[in-house]
Structure 1
Amino acid sequence: MITATIHPDQRVLVVQYPDFTNLKQEVHLISSNQHAENLIRIRSVKFISNALRSYVNGREVAYFYAGSLTIPRITAIAQLRLILDTFSEGSLIRLTHRIAQAKHALNKIEPSLNSSKRINYEQKIKPVLEWCDQYAAAAYPILKK
C-alpha cells in the first residue's frame, strides 16, 4: 500500500503512496528505526481511513441522489463510519482487522457491476480493502493475545 524507504546514512524516511492517489511523496527526518515505524504506521492508518471515509461518503451521496438509500445501506454506512471514527487514530492492526470484519457492510454499499463508479472502486478502493484483508490476516494472531 504505502512504500517506505529508510536512508539510514541521512536519517531520512521517504514515504510514497500508491500511483492511483494524488498524494505526493513525503520525506521525514527520523531519529530512530522506531520513529520510522511509527511514522509508517501513522501514515498508513491515515491513508486507509481517509480513502475509505471518502468512499463511504461518496456512496451515501450517490445512493441518496439515486433514491436508493435503503435502511440496510444506511446501517452499513453507519457501521463503517463507526469503525473509521473509532479506529482511525489507533492501531493499524485493529483498523485493518475491523475493516476486514466489515465485509457484509462493505458489500452492501459496493457499486453495481454496471455502475459508472465501478472502475473507481476496482482501481482505488478494492486494493485498499485487499491490503487490509492481507495485513489483518497476517497480524491477527497478535490480536488474540
Structure 2
Amino acid sequence: MKSSILLPAFFCLTSLLLAEPVFRIHDGKEWRDFDASSWEKLPRAEIKSMARDNTERTYSGVPLAEILKAVPVPAGPTLRGPEMERVVVITAADGYKVSFSLAELDASFRKQNVILADRVDGKPLSDHEGKRMLVCGDDLRHSRWIRQITGVVVTRPVMPE
C-alpha cells in the first residue's frame, strides 16, 4: 500500500524539480528562471501589427518592461547617470541577437511597445516561431522581431581601451 502511494508522489516531485524554466533572464550577476506559474502571473499586453507576411495580427504576451521589473533593474527616477549605459540583449535559438538600451524600454522615457509574445491571434505561436517571440510594435522594420527566444541579458557595453 505504501509503495503504491510513494511511487506516484516520487514521480510528481521529480517532474516538478526537473521542469525546465519557461524563460530565463540574466540581471548582470546571475540567471533568474521563470517557471510556468510565475510567467502566468506577469501582466500581459497585446500588440496589433503587420506580420512578416503583411497580414495584420494580434500578438499577446508579457511586456519586456514587466520582466525587467521582476529582476529588478533601475527604472523611472532611478534610471539615470551610469545606469543609462545598460543594455538589454535578447538571444534567439539560432544565435541571432538584438539589443535595446534600458531607457528604450522604460515608460518614463518613451511609450513602451515591446512584448515577449507567446500567442498570436489567440493561439499559441507556431513551432517555427517558438514558445516566445519578441514583438516590437513601434519598429518600422522587423529586424528586432526575433523568434525562438532563449534568453535575455541585462549588461553594460564593454568599451575598447
Normalised-by-shorter TM-score class: under 0.3
Superposition TM-score, scaled by structure 2 size: 0.25
The higher relative CO (CA closer than 8 Å, separation ≥ 6) is in: 2
Bigger Rg, structure 1 or 2: 2
More helix by share: 1
More strand by share: 2
Superposition TM-score, scaled by structure 1 size: 0.27
